[in-house]
Chain A
Amino acid sequence: MTPKNALRYAYYPGCSLHASAGEYDLSTRELFKKLNIGLTEVPDWFCCGATPAHNVDELLSLSLCAKNLELAEQVEGDLAVACAACFSRLKTTQHILSESEFKRQQVEKAIDAPVPLNGNVKHLLDILARDLGLKRLGQAVTKPLSGLKVACYYGCLLTRPTDVPNLDCVEAPTIMEDVLQAVGAETVAWSHRLECCGANFTLSRPGVVVQLSHAILDSAKAAGADCIMVACPLCHGNLDIRQKEIEGVYGTHYAMPVFYITQLVGLAAGLKADKLGLDALIVNPMPLLKEKQLI
């Protein structure tokens, strides 16, 4: 039985977590179970429209998010979001609709329901760092990630856009570092924490992605990181899946595993590799984890 004041959330995984980022979904569910945080998937949720919708049709993109927000009202608790793009879109939608009465009316007509503008939308990081709290998170650690040097990669969406009330300081956030330090890892100071990986062009202009993601990998390596941690399936795709391709283009060698936040925190909380989907990562993390005696 869960205690009365336990944390409970409505969970919006987003499309990626049901497809290419299955390991993010798996590790999230397992970690939250381990931490006694309730997650109930929003019934009938669908795509938030990121990232193409808001570039082509504002009403459509707002309505997609608004409808999801409305669906989330069925489940008790704030809305937990894993993907940085979904998070950014849902927050932005709330912001735009609370600023513009006109747009809100349009959207409400489109989805034929009132938009819940005051419901809290929270990224997993926020839940771990603030709702659960770094102290309680630290207490849940059974295997501290000591000796693991991690480059925390926020990407461009997690703290943006600037005018929407969001997760942390737009240009100099620390929330990822805070979480990882709480579970015993070492975080490196590096330059490309908030640069874009090029996700928007993943399919249309992969050359751009290779160039941008290369800069990120290069910078992480230069800062002495063993691995990169992300909180966005799109970033993950570019840094992990394309790593080999980038190495080929630039003639470099990184072998830099790219973890989801829930995977690293899960590891520290004592979850086994199979519960974290570590085998789904393209850049094999096992040599590194073995070297650091974390597995």
Chain B
Amino acid sequence: MSRIGVFVCHCGENISRTVDVERVAAEVGKLPGVAFSTDYKYMCSDPGQGLLKKAIREERLSHVVVAACSPRMHEKTFRKAVESAGLNPFLCEMANIREHCSWVHEDRDEATVKAIEIVGMMVERVKKNRVLPTITVPVTKRSLVIGGGIAGIQAALDIADAGHEVVLVEREPSIGGHMAQLSETFPTLDCSQCIMTPKMVDVANHPRIKLYTYAEIEHVEGYIGNFQVTVRRKARSVIEEKCTGCGVCMEKCPVRKIPNTFDRDLGMRPAIYVPFPQAVPNTPVIDRENCTKFKTGKCGVCQKVCGPGAVDYEQEDRLIVEPVGAIVVATGFDLYSIEEKPKGSSIKGYGEFGHGRIPDVIDGMTFERLASASGPTGGKIMRPSDGREPKQIVFIQCVGSRAREKGISYCSKICCMYTAKHTMLYHHKVHDGQAYVFFMDARTPGKSYDEFWRRSIEEEEAVYIRGMVSRLYQKGDKIVVMGSDISVGVQVEIEADMVVLATAVQPRKGADTLAQKLGISYDKYHFYSEAHAKLRPVECATAGIYLAGACQGPKDIPDTVSQASAAAAKVMTLFARDQLEREPIVARVRETGCVGCFYCKKVCPYGAVEEKEIRDRQGNLVKVVAYVNPGVCGGCGTCQATCPSKSVELDGYTDEQIVAMIESL
């Protein structure tokens, strides 16, 4: 028989003004199973909690109901108090007679009757409460960082500097990401590679960072503190341990005219290559699609000239399993392409800009490569079509961004600033040139940002035209830009030598596939969703997975680096403990009843349900049942409502508890 203690709080006068607390205590005291019932001015105060603890000990109480404010307010307080008096904290429930009763009703009689019923309901519920042990899970203090751009690099360095091992996985042959492609950076115009490459070298030399380049995530299993990640190391055809990075193979490779994607196809590279001279690691990779050896079987020059014998044509993809406790996702962005989109894509291209078929219409990243001292033109601005220096250049902002008719309604955040930077770089290099910018608004929130933008107009003579461009077309060797200037309300036409499009920032292609492997959610554009837009901006709803950089939404470099360090800090917080504790509100499977229809697995938003084989002593399969991994379960209970035989039950919200409440009414 339960010995339930009921404690009715006056909350000063907040409750007792409308609810007759003494009558509540008296009435509830008559309920079967209630051994003790009292009222007190402030239950949450020290003396109030003391009263509670004393009663538990002296009255040998088995369960406790505190009738007071909302459990969202003080449930933790009272459960702690109950625990310190030697009871399991989950044997304590709160009856909300303040927010749900005394504060919302005026009639004292009505409110008192309602309070009695609410407390009675919780008394019936608490009778069915069970002792719930706190769940602890061990923490593997290693972290995985996906993506080797500035976000991934920063997060990896921070975590490794804090003393934890990091596995950094990058899809391309080198780390560096988009930042390595940039020429100079706003708002200080320092050279991107100058500030980036030292960090890349730090990664390569860090004793606690394990770097996998030319590698992808194959498969992720497990949960916070205990992930098992399978990494696919794609066949590089060059043995990294042997290669000294001397570069002879690249010099001797007979295939030389392959457009280099790092240079936005403006420069050429051989079939065995590193994407750029400062690549980390400085180990080449063979592009098997274009290599003569792989295409025809003949050649083999690189292998012959390689001193250390690092070239291996037989190399195959390797799968490596890495146990980690936390994951930082930093997969970055792609740029919107104005080319015609395949049928079925919800995002459209730009027919009015020629669908990418006018050669001197380029995007911002291509301009970065043109302006970069280490780029294909050595930093000289030239037209891709004929190599001439453009004297009239038009920049168009918001291409794809804020363009609902193209399927994207968000602002890409960085374009206003980098276009301003482009006009400056252009003016520094082409003194007699004129830059025009078509823009909707200039969005320059950030330290020294607006000053920078003003400078591009006031000192660097860029002409800003507020309006949109309706069409671009080739006319002789010029590109006619048809646009509007809405400040004066006229149509304008500019015959430009080159047009630079500030195209929208989009998540990486395949971001959705990776999200499905990781079990994290994403929005309709495939940007990854944070757990809370304001208060948990670097965590995913899936515990143990954190976000850094533009994979979560468009970001500039300072924001990306800040978020990366924040994600690293979250990982360190997690790693500060050896074991994780979590509220034991998780689902459990009653294996005797389970028939293995796996409806629970189908509806589980967390992927917490696994299939478990039950075998007899001879090892014969008896049946396959569901198993809920308590480390992964979020505790929503959707499984239980869906289970036809109710063979899975959510602790803390069992059918027994709920039916007891309904039956009490």
Direct contact of A and B (CB under 8 A): yes
Among A163, A172, A195, A222, the residue within 8 A (CB) of B351 is A172
Among B340, B350, B480, the residue within 8 A (CB) of A191 is B480
- For chain A, residues 218 to 277, give those with C-beta under 8 angstroms from any C-beta of chain B: 222
Q: How many residues of B contact A (CB 8 A)?
A: 11
Given the complex of chains A and B, what is the CA–CA distance between A191 and B355 in angstroms? 13
Known A170-B351, A171-B350; contact A222-B405, beta-carbon cutoff 8 A: no
CB of B475 within 8 Å of the partner chain: yes
Given the complex of chains A and B, what is the CA–CA distance between A56 and B351 in angstroms? 31
Interface size class of A (residues with CB under 8 A): 10 to 19
Among B405, B473, B480, the residue within 8 A (CB) of A162 is B405
CB of B79 to closest CB in A, whole Å: 50
Given the complex of chains A and B, what is the CA–CA distance between A170 and B470 in angstroms? 12
For A171, list chain B residues within 8 Å (CB): 350-352
For B114, list chain A residues within 8 Å (CB): none
Known A162-B405, A191-B480; contact A169-B471, beta-carbon cutoff 8 A: no
Is A222 a contact of B475 with CB atoms below 8 Å?
yes
- For chain B, residues 464 to 496, give those with C-beta under 8 angstroms from any C-beta of chain A: 471, 473-475, 480
For B473, list chain A residues within 8 Å (CB): 191
Please give me the residue from chain A that is nearest to B470 by CB atom.
Answer: A195
Please give me the residue from chain A that is nearest to B493 by CB atom.
Answer: A215
For B352, list chain A residues within 8 Å (CB): 171-172, 194
For B475, list chain A residues within 8 Å (CB): 191, 222
Which of A162, A169, A191, A222 has most chain B Cβ within 10 Å? A191
Is A163 a contact of B405 with CB atoms below 8 Å?
yes
Interface of chain A: mostly helix, strand, loop or mixed: loop
Given the complex of chains A and B, what is the CA–CA distance between A191 and B474 in angstroms? 8
Among A172, A194, A195, the residue within 8 A (CB) of B340 is A172
Is A191 a contact of B471 with CB atoms below 8 Å?
yes
CB of B469 to closest CB in A, whole Å: 12
- For chain A, residues 183 to 213, give those with C-beta under 8 angstroms from any C-beta of chain B: 191, 194-195
Is B351 a contact of A169 with CB atoms below 8 Å?
yes
CB of A88 to closest CB in B, whole Å: 16
For A173, list chain B residues within 8 Å (CB): 351
Given the complex of chains A and B, what is the CA–CA distance between A194 and B471 in angstroms? 9
For B340, list chain A residues within 8 Å (CB): 169, 172
Is A195 a contact of B405 with CB atoms below 8 Å?
no
The digit string for A166-187, where 1 denotes a CB below 8 A from any CB of B, is 0001111100000000000000
Given the complex of chains A and B, what is the CA–CA distance between A163 and B480 in angstroms? 27
CB of A163 to closest CB in B, whole Å: 7
CB of B375 to closest CB in A, whole Å: 31
Given the complex of chains A and B, what is the CA–CA distance between A194 and B473 in angstroms? 12
For A191, list chain B residues within 8 Å (CB): 471, 473-475, 480
Please give me the residue from chain A that is nearest to B340 by CB atom.
Answer: A172
CB of B476 to closest CB in A, whole Å: 9
CB of A187 to closest CB in B, whole Å: 16
The digit string for B447-476, where 1 denotes a CB below 8 A from any CB of A, is 000000000000000000000000101110
For B405, list chain A residues within 8 Å (CB): 162-163, 170
**Can you offer 20 A-B residue contacts whose CB atoms are under 8 A?**
A162-B405, A163-B405, A169-B351, A170-B351, A170-B405, A171-B351, A171-B352, A172-B340, A172-B351, A172-B352, A173-B351, A191-B471, A191-B473, A191-B474, A191-B475, A191-B480, A194-B352, A194-B471, A195-B471, A222-B475
Residues of chain B at the chain A interface (Cβ within 8 Å): 340, 350-352, 355, 405, 471, 473-475, 480
Closest 8 CB pairs of A and B: A172-B351, A171-B351, A191-B473, A171-B352, A162-B405, A172-B355, A169-B351, A171-B350
